[in-house]
């Protein structure tokens, strides 16, 4: 669907289904941990890079241009100005949300541990806080996924796969420390899955807030803003996580691969 085309019930249902799939994919990461299939650092870095490539490419090549075109239908030649402004408004919005989350809940580093008991304590805290932080961040991400899925159905599946890929390592990030701290691998997998449920909640909240005002201008602004949100998430969440693996070359390879796959899929589907 493009801006200016009425939203159909089927489109909303598909968008919610895609958002739910993307959200619960954190459970796949938890399942990997429960099955003791620990991903290598190269795999994690490459997966994060692939997700980054897909999200950045689709944001700049598909979502932002769609937003500008939709706004152009309303404001004419000023469409690019409003579109770019909405893009950076999305960046500012997610950045402010990120900064408002207290540091104890939104840790950027896992503290070092000196003893086995302290290590377990740190692992427990890290797992719990990571789960909370991921849930908080997934709320606006769920809205972003939902709005993206309301767009051209031909790009909905790649978006869902990209979000799912980037959520799998998040599930691992939640489940690993909880498993190590408690020894309860399936409980850890369950908490990893639960952390992703904030995405469909974010989609529902965004839908209820915007639906009364939905039209070419609203969709155009939403597409452009979501592009900014997704680009910020890629560089604020995925890039640091990949660098922390120590395999930054595999991250870059993943980025290029993700962009190539996304570009090929758009060419084939268009």
Q: What's the rounded Cα separation, in Å, for the pair 215 and 1?
A: 12
Q: What's the rounded Cα separation, in Å, for the pair 135 and 200?
A: 11
167 is known to lie in a ligand binding site? yes
141 is known to lie in a ligand binding site? yes
DSSP state of 260: H
State both tokens at 118: 């302290």
62 is known to lie in a ligand binding site? no
- Alpha carbon of 176 to those of 130, 132, 207, 267: distances in Å? 11, 15, 33, 39
Contact 69, 227 (CB under 8 A): no
38 is known to lie in a ligand binding site? no
SS3 246: coil
State both tokens at 104: 């104890």
199 is known to lie in a ligand binding site? yes
73 is known to lie in a ligand binding site? no
Q: What's the rounded Cα separation, in Å, for the pair 215 and 24?
A: 30
Contact 64, 87 (CB under 8 A): yes
SS3 100: helix
Q: Which residues are annotated as a binding site for Fe(2+)?
A: 138, 141, 167, 170, 199
Residue ranges of the binding site: 138, 141, 166-167, 170, 199
| Numbered residues of the known binding site for Zn(2+) | 141, 166, 170
């Amino acid at each position: 669907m493009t801006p200016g085309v009425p939203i159909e019930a089927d489109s909303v249902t598909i968008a919610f289904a895609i958002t739910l799939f993307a959200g619960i994919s954190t459970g796949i990461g938890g399942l990997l941990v429960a099955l003791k299939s620990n991903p290598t650092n190269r795999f994690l870095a490459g997966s994060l890079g692939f997700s980054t490539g897909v999200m950045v490419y689709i944001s700049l090549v598909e979502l932002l241009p769609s937003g500008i075109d939709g706004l152009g239908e309303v404001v004419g030649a000023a469409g690019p100005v409003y579109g770019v402004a909405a893009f950076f408004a999305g960046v500012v919005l997610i950045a402010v949300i990120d900064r408002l989350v207290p540091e104890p809940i939104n840790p950027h580093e896992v503290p070092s541990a000196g003893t086995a008991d302290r290590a377990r304590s740190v692992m427990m805290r890290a797992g719990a806080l990571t789960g909370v932080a991921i849930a908080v961040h997934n709320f606006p991400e769920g809205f972003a996924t939902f709005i993206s899925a309301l767009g051209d159905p031909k790009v909905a599946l790649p978006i869902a796969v990209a979000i799912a890929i980037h959520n799998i390592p998040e599930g691992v990030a939640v489940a690993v420390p909880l498993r190590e701290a408690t020894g309860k691998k399936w409980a850890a997998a369950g908490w990893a899955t639960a952390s992703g449920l904030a995405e469909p909640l974010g989609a529902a909240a965004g839908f209820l807030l915007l639906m009364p005002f939905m039209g070419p201008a609203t969709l155009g602004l939403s597409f452009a803003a979501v592009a900014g949100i997704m680009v910020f998430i890629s560089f604020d969440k995925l890039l640091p996580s990949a660098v922390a693996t120590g395999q930054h070359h595999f991250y870059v390879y993943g980025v290029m691969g993700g962009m190539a796959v996304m570009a090929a899929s758009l060419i084939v589907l268009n």
